[in-house]
Amino acid sequence: MQHSKSSLAALTLGAIGVVYGDIGTSVLYAVKEVFGSGHVPFTHANVYGVLSILFWTLTVIVSLKYVVLVLRADNHGEGGLIAMLALASQALKQRHPRLRSGMLVVGIFGTSLFYGDGVITPAISVLSAIEGLEVVSPHFRKAVIPLTLVVLFGLFAVQKRGTAGIGRYFGPLMLAWFLSIALLAVPHIAGHPEILGALGPHHALGFIWHNPGVSFIILGAVVLCVTGAEALYADLGHFGKRPIRIAWFSVAMPALTVNYFGQGALLLADPAAVKNPFFMMAPDWALLPLVLLATMATVIASQALITGAFSVTKQVIQLGYLPRLNILHTSVRDTGQIYLPFVNWSLFVAIVLAVVMFRSSSNLAAAYGIAVTLDMLITTVLTFFVIRYGWGYPLALCLAATGFFFVVDLAFFSSNLLKLLQGGWFPLLIGALVFTLMMTWKRGRELLNDRLREEAIGLPDFLASVLAHPPVRVDGTAVFLSAEPGIVPNALLHNLKHNKVLHRQNLFVTVRYHETPWIGLDQRLQVQALGGDCWQVTVNYGFKNELDLPSALGLMQGRGCELHAMSTSYFLSRDVVVPTIGSGMAPWREKLFAQMHHNASGVAAFLHLPSNAVVELGSKVEI
């Protein structure tokens, strides 16, 4: 992707605000949790060792794995676990269908874990910023939880207005944050310049060699320095590779490194500062402004994750793993600016629950890590399938490239498993619940479609018999939606039975979603003439395409079918699912699917059909 100098600068500034908001606020708690755990004896050698481990964790996981390797795996310019899953799925589709099925389940589980991370990250980020007030005065301690909840409520309440208005300030504010955290650390490094020696990997290796058990344990806290690393890849479609890489190497990584080393220098001078080394680096006069800036930075970090949750949910819906939800567009220019009320307030309730249950950033740090390290592990596995089967690289090279990162990710994941009973179960529970919903919906839709096919009537033969002795034909166009092409929609049967008419033009439309981000207008429609002014139409969408069926059908112009908005009616079949005891799913899953199917938002709103031109006809289907 080529950028002009001005657009490259704007995209880089935007990447600083959106992509690195999360990882940029990890300085608030990472060092505190590593040394505050009580596992690391406080010596000069250990401070050097831990700082070196932090620096090389950033280098290996973020710089090498995500910025250098994973960013190369773009799916038509798009990134994120869903895009990676689609790439790997396409690579395995022909040659290894059984392996592909298992990999899809693993990828969807990784996507489910994103929601667990989406609960913990805003909670720990905002809470750690507000906890800076305790450094100002111990009297503020009782106000930390209420203030955190107020800030979080305000953040979620403004989501329906969209981020277009405030988004332009994200970049400058986060740039100010990165400059501030670097400047905050400079005086402390100047007082102990020898601390920069910890950049050498021998300090990290020496610490691990002499303290293998402790090193393994503290990896569960070290991982906090890479919170939000997945956002690098997820935001690829918004900014492109080059701006993301420039923002990391020129701003984010240098500022984070300087701040971590400043905190280390402070600890060498004053070991008592371990209770909150980030805020204790600041002079007294700067504490309150720093708390305010930190709160704004954590709100921006949380905002990016929330909008990411909206985008991922929309993609998962279009891939067929979740029921339709109410999606509101908050910008007339940017179709990516969306708001999902159900997702928004579900996240808020879960985050409030996390804050009230854990009550401090240190306790939340115990809950953080399992979900995100498992996601990182899954990303590494999917990357192997992409570069081996998608790009066709030699097996030895693929194993070497991803095997190293697999071992590193596995070490972090294994260490975080030690925190399972301390709170790590919480994001895993959320991920497991979301995964259950996704797999139940996917399997339920398969059972429903199988049952509909069993009872279906072939469309060509049916039309031939109807047109041989046609009913009264009325002016206008009827659009009948059907889950499968080539079968008679229930809505058509009901219309003929009750209204005893057939429209002048009839379109039998099936909407298909594909494992690719974008499908262009030249591939949007597949049209087959059935005779008698009837057409079979398949409408193709990628999982990032904006759904608008009337606009898509407008492409029929010039193909012998002229559609006019005022004379076009859309006939939908509203199926009521009836769970039955049989060979489908477990009874509780069938009941869950029936409830999800009942609560799904209407097809009309999902496909942007005009509400005054929709006719719904219902029927019951047993699964």
Q: What is the DSSP string of 315-354?
A: HHHHTTSS-----EE--SS-TT-EE-HHHHHHHHHHHHHH
- Mean pLDDT value across residues 473-501: 89
Of 157-166, 244-253, 603-612, the one with minimum mean pLDDT is: 157-166
Nearest-angstrom CA–CA distance, 140 and 349: 25
Average pLDDT over residues 387-392: 89
pLDDT beyond 60 at 2: no
Which token pair is 559? 């193909």
Q: What percent of the chain has pLDDT over 90?
A: 51
Q: Is the pLDDT of residue 186 over 70?
A: yes
Q: How many CB atoms lie within 10 A of CB 474?
A: 13
Q: What are the extents of the domains in the chain? A: 9-443, 455-622
Among left, alpha and beta (phi > 0; psi -120 to 50; other), residue 561 is beta
DSSP tag of 475: E
Bigger pLDDT: 165 or 135? 135
Tell how strand 534-542 and strand 501-514 pair up: parallel
Residue 331: its pLDDT value, please? 65
Q: Please state, as a whole number, how many other Cβ atoms lie within 10 Å of the Cβ of residue 67.
A: 22
- What confidence score (pLDDT) does residue 281 get? 95
Say what the pLDDT of residue 136 is: 85
d(CA 358, CA 356): 6
Could you read off the pLDDT of 508-542 as tens digits, one per residue? 999 998 888 889 998 999 999 998 899 999 999 99
> Residue with structure tokens 């979740």?
322
Contact (CB, 8 A) for 448 and 589: no
Look at residue 166 in the predicted model and tell me its pLDDT: 62
> Cβ distance 368 to 413 under 8 Å?
no
Residue 587: C-alpha distances to residues 320, 321, 439, 443, 592 (Å)? 21, 19, 15, 13, 9
Given a cut of 70, whether residue 334 has pLDDT beyond it is no
CA separation (Å) from 573 to 512, 513, 539, 540?
17, 19, 18, 20
The pLDDT value recorded for residue 329 is 75
Q: What is the pLDDT of residue 351?
A: 95
Q: 476 pLDDT band (50/70/90 cuts)?
A: very high
pLDDT reported for residue 10 = 86
Dist CA 361 CA 224 (whole Å): 11
Residue 568 pLDDT more than 60? yes
Both tokens of residue 542?
Answer: 């990628």
What is the reported pLDDT for 30? 92
Percent of the chain with pLDDT over 70: 97
pLDDT for res 341 = 93
pLDDT value of position 344:
93
CA dihedral 358, 31, 117, 514 (to 10 degrees): 180
What average pLDDT does the chain have? 89
DSSP string, 570-611: EEEEEEEEE--SSSSS-HHHHHHHHHHHHHSPPHHHHTT--G
Q: Do residues 121 and 22 touch, judged by C-beta distance below 8 A? A: yes
Query: What's the pLDDT score for residue 137?
Result: 83
Residue 345 has a pLDDT of 94
pLDDT confidence bin for 372, thresholds 50/70/90: confident
The pLDDT of residue 270 is above 80: yes
Tell me: pLDDT of 144 over 70: yes
CATH superfamily of 9-443: Amino acid/polyamine transporter I (1.20.1740.10)
**pLDDT surpassing 70 at residue 165:** no
Lowest mean pLDDT among 73-82, 275-284, 362-371, 456-465: 73-82
Say how far apart CA 405 and CA 111 lie, in whole Å.
Answer: 20
Cα distances (Å, whole numbers) of residue 483 to 378, 448, 509, 513, 538:
32, 10, 8, 11, 10
What is the tens place of the pLDDT at every residue in 75-128?
878 888 888 888 888 888 877 888 888 888 998 999 999 898 889 989 999 999
Partners of 536 in the β-ladder: 508, 528
Mean pLDDT, range 250-279, rounded to an integer: 94
pLDDT at 68 over 60: yes
Q: Is 395 in contact with 100 (CB distance < 8 Å)?
A: no
User: 3-state secondary structure string, 5-48?
Assistant: HHHHHHHHHHHHHHCCHHHHCHHHCHHHHHHHCCCCCCCHHHHH
Question: What's the sign of the alpha-carbon dihedral 389, 394, 397, 399?
Answer: positive
3-class SS of residue 497: helix
Which phi and psi angles does 620 have, rounded to 5°? -100, 140
pTM of the model: 0.87
The pLDDT assigned to 574 comes to 78
| Calpha distance 410→169 (Å, rounded) | 37
Q: How confident is the model at residue 376 (pLDDT cuts 50, 70, 90)?
A: very high
pLDDT-wise least confident of 242-251, 289-298, 371-380, 559-568: 559-568
Per-residue pLDDT of 12-35, as tens digits, reads 998 898 889 889 999 999 999 998
With a cut of 60, say whether residue 400 has pLDDT above it: yes
pLDDT for the residue 3 = 58
